[in-house]
Structure 1
């Protein structure tokens, strides 16, 4: 993509590789990799903050799943309507979701026998 100089009142605007606008990282190359990586990291941080609730076996799985849908998934998927994603990026998002679910469910009996 070519570089284009932008002027406002004869003042040239500084060009950057990326900037944050309304909580979304916008890159000069138009790709969303940085945004998705930042969303994944923030969702993981939020999951860790809520870990005591999300992994508590005394709370029903339906309640924990609802908490995940209400408090973690919106952080992960914020702005996804505008993303252009590759198969690799889609796989990364699915891996993140599976990571959350595995942590919520904990080790299963079948897996425990294998150790």
Structure 2
């Protein structure tokens, strides 16, 4: 193994394999390293983005939405403060919350349903920012 000569090691206990397929059920894939069979997975997190074998972005968008709402709650005292102008609060929302929601969006496959979900999330932020029930 050329990589071993260079000092690179692969931990077969931590390494997983994922088959990406358009079929309903993923094909089985048996890959062995040092006589150890690698575990096959349906999804994993890479650089903060969930990658799934069915190429659906629903899980990723749900995770991003949840994280953005958590961040909104952490900044709630600023974002809902009536003594801070609405423009400043909107700018804070754009700077601190939207990047969390939209991280990795360049690779998303957007359907009408997902677009509606993102718009609903935006409205959720604005209603709470303006303290509208």
Same fold per superposition (TM over 0.5): yes
Measured in 1, the distance between the counterparts of 2:37 and 2:27 equals 13
* 1:5 corresponds to: 29
* 2:40 corresponds to: 15
Q: Does 1:55 align with 2:55?
A: no
Count of residues in Structure 1 that have an aligned counterpart in Structure 2: 108
Gaps of 5+ in 1: none
User: What are the equivalent positions in structure 2 for 1:1-115 lying under 5 Å apart?
Assistant: 1=23, 2-3=26-27, 5=29, 7=31, 9=33, 12-107=37-132
Tell me which structure has the larger Cα radius of gyration: 2
Asked if the contact 1:5/1:13 (under 8 Å) is kept, the reply is no
Structure 2 vs 1, CA of residues 3 and 67 (structure 1 numbering), >3 Å: closer, same or farther? Answer: same
* Structure in which a larger fraction of residues adopt helix: 1
Q: In the TM superposition, what whole-angstrom CA distance separates every residue of 1:42-66 from its partner, at most 9, and x where no partner exists? A: 0000000000000001001111001
Asked if the contact 1:42/1:75 (under 8 Å) is kept, the reply is yes
Q: TM-score, normalization: structure 1? A: 0.85
Higher relative contact order (CA 8 A, sep 6+): 1
Report the Cα offset of residue 5 of structure 1.
2.0
